[in-house]
Amino acid sequence: MVRLEKRTVVSVLLFSLTPTKPYRVLLFRRSEKVSTYRKKLAPIAGSVELDDKTPLDAAWRELKEETCLGPQQIELWRRGPGFQFTDEKAVVGKDGKGETVGRTWHVWPFAFRFKKELVDEHNNVVDPSVFKMNWEHLNLEWNFVEDILDGKILDQCVPRLEITLGQVWVDPESQLYKGMEELRLDHTHGARELATMAIKSLVRIIERDDSQQREKKMGTLSSEGLERWWKDVRLQAFHLAFNARPSMSAAISSAIVNALQAAQSIVDTGGPTVMEDVKSTLEAYVARRTEIARRVSEQFSTLLKGMFPSTNQDESDRTVPIKIMTLSFSSTIKAAILHALDEDETRTIELCILESRPLFEGASFAQALTKEAQDRLQGQKAGPQIHSRLRIYVSTDASVGVLSRDADLLIIGADRISESGDVSNKTGSLPAVLTSKEVTHGSIKVICISESDKIAPPGAAEEHSEEDNDKAEVTRTWTTNLSSCWDEMVTIRNVYFEWVPAKYIDLYVCEDGVLGQDDIKTKSRLVADLTTKAFSDLSKARDF
């Protein structure tokens, strides 16, 4: 009986910065010195070691060891859900001698792309000053993506390469790719809107599948056909959840897995209209998300009512305004502020908004609020008048120490909340929290207002990706004449999000009320369970 060993590995595929037809992937010819799959074409691969915190850490380490490439030359593009298979002849002694050992492989696929072209796609020539292969490889070569997915060259490749590639490759002409690009390029909307956009993209994908099914007059899907279709839908949902906008994947993935759970019973029932029924279920879930936002606003108003009775007046019998500071543009905070004013028409608010460089979302927030007030004043929108009860100040981020001295509340949104209660929000949140706590001697209350779907599965804050964006967003307002040494000496960072530790946050307000640490941990584990349920069977692969 063949001895089987279990091994967890990463499998790293490399792509050009701007893939063009015919699409190619860079593969490596394994040397005679390796113990498995000698002379086969393969990605960069290696075991996940005990000191690797995550499979992604292992991927970066293997890339450095085998190619000398690092973050200066390449960037993470996508990751797959992973899969397992068994190969009973994985390890064979040289020249066919020695013990044959089988392996049960747990594979974590990753796709990286070059930040600049270091390998000539046509001649397989590398830049030797940066790209250096180690002893594990004989050479490298670009291969057509379709040749692998269609099985044309699989006899030359390591086992299950088509699954590795299939889990990270997205056809640039597909509906999925369009949806992912829509999320990636949107720097205007917050996590809640992006999560809704992701589900709408999934609806369009299913709509396309249903249309194609009708055009081909294929009738009712067989049970096997339905299983394949639903598995393909969930793989596309995985890409929308985790690869389109990783920095906001908590909100997007939570919405996606909840939507998939709602649709699962439809799939289990089957029937001739299953695709249409799944689409309708997802559309109904999108509609319910609007209700969640309203509930968050109601909970915030309830909190304000307890903290600031509307009868508060100063010595001149004037109503004392609630003084609130915030930053950037959160649609959830906007809705909460407006609801608070609408619920109590004697309530007044002074709102200080930090402009939030580099895209000045804070100024956009102020514009949205004044537009709302104008529309109500002119009768274009229904609702109580707010223009005389909402006083807005817009200021630079750097002035937080001056403007927060008499603030009652500092409100931040959330793009992600960790299991421990740490909050990822727009860069500038942490300085605002620390500074305002200092200048008010701790009297200011820091409140995170967010839907509960921003709560991420268990994991340390540092495990979540950091989003570094176009440096031109930072530099376009500069008038400085740059020296000839600028590019060599200066690196411009444009990091959108940062973490605010839980110890600085006084209250978390969501659609279910005020959350405590235990509530957040419970919801975090629930999200992990739903994610496992939604995607775990994508890992099953036929043994080799």
Q: What is the pLDDT along the chain (544 residues), one digit of tens a residue?
A: 678 899 999 999 999 988 888 999 999 999 999 989 999 999 999 999 999 999 999 999 999 999 999 988 899 999 999 999 999 888 766 555 567 788 999 999 999 999 887 777 777 777 777 788 899 999 999 999 999 999 999 999 999 999 999 999 999 999 999 999 999 999 888 888 899 999 999 999 999 988 877 666 556 778 888 999 999 999 999 999 999 998 888 889 999 999 999 999 999 998 888 999 999 999 999 998 888 889 999 999 999 999 987 655 555 556 789 999 999 999 899 999 999 999 999 999 999 999 999 999 999 999 999 999 999 999 999 999 999 999 999 999 999 999 999 999 999 999 899 999 999 999 999 999 999 999 999 999 999 999 998 999 887 555 556 667 788 899 988 877 888 888 888 888 898 899 999 999 999 999 999 999 899 999 999 999 999 999 988 866 565 5
Q: pLDDT exceeding 90 applies to what percent of the chain? A: 69
Distance CA 125, CA 26 (A): 12
Task: State the pLDDT at residue 128.
Answer: 73
Contact assessment for residue 361 and residue 370, using Cβ atoms and an 8 Å cutoff: no
At residue 305, the 3 state secondary structure works out as: helix
Q: CATH assignment of 5-169, given 3.30.420.80, 1.10.510.10, 3.90.79.10, 3.40.50.300?
A: 3.90.79.10
SS3 state at 128: coil
- Average pLDDT of the chain is 90
| Fold equal for 5-169 and 297-310+318-462+492-530 | no
Question: Do residues 260 and 254 touch, judged by C-beta distance below 8 A?
Answer: no
> Nearest CA to 441 among 481, 495, 387, 405?
405
Asked if residues 425 and 446 have their Cβ atoms less than 8 Å apart, the reply is no
Domain positions in the chain are 5-169, 175-287, 297-310+318-462+492-530
Q: Which amino acid is at 513?
A: G
pTM of model > 0.85: no
The pLDDT, as a whole number, for residue 310 is: 62
How far is it, in rounded angstroms, from Cα 212 to Cα 81?
A: 27
Q: What is the pLDDT of residue 271?
A: 86
Contact present, 4 and 105 (Cβ < 8 Å): no
Which residue bears the tokens 């967890």? 8
CATH architecture of 175-287: Up-down Bundle (1.20)
> How far apart are the C-alpha atoms of 326 and 395, rounded to whole Å?
11
Site of tokens 């747990």: 106
> 3-class SS at 344?
coil
CA dist., res. 181 & res. 353, Å (int): 30
Number of neighbouring beta carbons within 10 Å of residue 315: 5
CATH superfamily of 297-310+318-462+492-530: Translation initiation factor eif-2b; domain 2 (3.40.50.10470)
Degrees to nearest 5, angle at CA 190 with 324 and 251 = 110
Cβ–Cβ < 8 Å for 433, 504: yes
